[in-house]
Amino acid sequence: MRTRTVRTVALACLLALLGCAGEEIPRVERLIDPYPAPWEIDFAGLTGSRRGERVEATIRFESPVDTLVVDLACRLTPACEMVSGRFRAVDVGARVEGSVRPLSLTFQGGQGGRPAFGARLELVSEAGTRLYRVTLPPTELSPAR
C-alpha cells in the first residue's frame, strides 16, 4: 500500500510541474481595481536596437479599439538597467500617458546576433497611480522601422 501512495504522490507532483511549465506569453493587466485583471489586448510586437551598452525598445499591444505603446531606453552595465520609460495608451476610448517602473528587465544576446529583451513593468499615470502591469517574456528584438 505504501508503494502505491508514493507513486500516486510522485505522479501528482509530476503533473503539477508539467502544468506550470507552460510557455509564458506577453500580457497586460489592469491594476485599477483592487485585484489585477487581464486586459484583452494582443501583443503586436517588440522593435528596437542595441548600440553598444544602450538598448532602445518599443513594445506594442493592440486590439480593434485599444492600443498600448511602451517606449524604453536601457543601459547594459552588465545588468540591464532602465534609463527612461514612457507609455501611451487608448483604453476604452480614454487616452492615458505616464511613466514606466521596471520590476525586472532581461537582456540576452550580443551585438553580433539578434538580441532578446524581456521585462515586467508597472505603468504609472502622471498623477502617480499604478494603472497597468506588462509582462514580456524574453522576445527577439526586431529592427525598428
User: Residue 13: which pLDDT band, with cuts at 50, 70 and 90?
Assistant: very low
32 in a domain, yes or no? yes
What is the pLDDT, as a whole number, of residue 143? 87
Q: Which of 66, 75, 87 is CA-nearest to residue 136? A: 87
CB atoms closer than 10 angstroms to residue 134: 22
Q: pLDDT digits over 16-65, tens only?
A: 433 444 458 999 999 977 789 999 999 999 999 888 899 999 999 999 99
126 in a domain, yes or no? yes
5 in a domain, yes or no? no
19 in a domain, yes or no? no
Q: What is the mean pLDDT of residues 65-94?
A: 95
61 in a domain, yes or no? yes
> Dihedral angle at the C-alpha atoms of 27, 31, 37, 43, nearest 10 degrees?
-20
Q: How many domains does the chain have?
A: 1
CB atoms closer than 10 angstroms to residue 25: 11
Q: Which domain holds residue 59?
A: 24-143
Query: How remote is the C-alpha of 96 from its chain's centroid?
Result: 19
Q: Mean pLDDT of all residues in the chain? A: 85
Strand order in the sheet with 94-108: 37-38, 27-30, 130-140, 116-125, 94-108, 80-91, 67-76, 54-62, 42-51, 142-143
